[in-house]
Structure 1
Amino acid sequence: MAFENPSREEIADLLRNAGNIAVVGLSDRPDRTSYMVSAAMQTRGYRIIPVNPGATEILGEKCYSSLKDIPESVDIVNVFRRSEYCADVAREAAEIGAKVLWLQQGIVSEEAADIAKNAGMIAIMDRCIKVEDSIALGGR
């Protein structure tokens, strides 16, 4: 069966109930899409947890080398990495008990989606979390 993203209503519920959002591949450079999207989500009230082994702090939040290093629960793992790295991210997201694996716009990995599904997570692919928040929740 072909992959299908959740409905807009389901995405709205996921965002409405999201606590911590770990952002894998969040850049510390303000001109990068990952930074701009995460900064906008943070401004809208979401808690952003940066995951980038090359940084110590991004957007005023402590940065972690991997999802497994985050000492608190994560609801959504938002991924800004190339498709070939997403299966490993999905495995790590499953290990920490994340609820949602969200691959940003332009990122598709059927393998990652299958891993997420088999671990009881919801997978979203090729969608921008900031755009979906604006559409589903009107930017809160």
Structure 2
Amino acid sequence: MYGDDETVRRILTERGDTWAVVGLSNNRDRAAFRVASVLQHFGKRVVPVHPKAETVHGEQGYASLSAVPFPVDVVDVFVNSSLAGRVADDAVAAGARAVWFQLGVIDEAAYDRTRAAGLDMVMDRCPAIEIPRLG
């Protein structure tokens, strides 16, 4: 398992309230749309990061993580595993405090690099499942 319950709890409660959701668009059929809604329900500010830079759930979108003009605390990654490592590296460069790879997003080398850079990291889990589970 990549990210124990203590790490998950820390990210959800202590690592900050601004979450950049990479892969979030207005497509209601995508998991990112639903998970972002859950994060907002639990008080997180959701920042959409998607090439379309759409406003989603009332929040201005940005085409890339580097285009976000303010600090983000957690980078939640909804992209193909082959692209996830680059997003994790961008999160480190942006000064994020944590990276979260969603269910099915797996890149062990990116996990190791992100942890070595001092960030909390969770991989192949979903905050919409973990928030209610961990209270």
Using the size of structure 2 for normalisation, the TM-score is 0.92
Do structure 1's residue 87 and structure 2's residue 80 form an aligned pair? no
SS in 1 for 2:76: strand
In the alignment, structure 2 segments of 5+ residues that lack a partner are none
Q: TM-score, normalized by length of structure 1?
A: 0.89
Q: Which runs of 4+ in 1 moved over 4 A?
A: none
2:71 to 65, 70, 73: 73
- Given candidates 88, 102, 105, the residue that maps to 1:104 is 102
| CA deviation after TM superposition for structure 1 residue 97, in Å | 0.8
CA RMSD of aligned residues (A): 1.3
The 1-side partners of 2:113 and 2:59 are apart by: 28
Q: Per-residue CA shift, 1:45-73, capped at 9, x if unaligned?
A: 11101001113311110001111111111
Aligned partner of 1:11 among 8, 11, 17: 8
Q: What's 2:41 paired with? A: 43
Distance 1:134 1:70 in 2: 29
Which residue pairs with 2:127 in the alignment? 129
| Partner secondary structure for residue 62 of structure 1 | coil
Alignment: residue pair count: 134
Find the partner of 2:113 among 112, 115, 128. Answer: 115
User: Percentage identity across aligned positions?
Assistant: 36
In structure 2, distance between residues paired with 1:10 and 1:125: 11
Q: Secondary structure at the match of 1:48?
A: strand
Displacement of 1:9: 2.9
**2:30 paired residue number:** 32
Tell me the alpha carbon deviations over residues 58-96 of structure 1, each in whole angstroms, 9 at most, x when there is no partner: 111000111111111111100000100011101100101
In structure 1, list runs of 5 or more residues that go unmatched: none
Q: Which amino acid aligns with 1:131?
A: I
**Residue 33 of structure 1: how far off its partner (Å):** 0.9
| Deviations 1:2-59 (CA, angstroms, capped at 9, x unpaired) | xx43321332122112220000001211121110111111112111010011133111
**Contact 1:26–1:34 (CA under 8 A) maintained in structure 2:** yes
1:96-115, CA deviations, whole angstroms, 9 ceiling, x for partnerless residues? 11111100011110121122
CA distance in 1, matches of 2:23, 2:117: 22
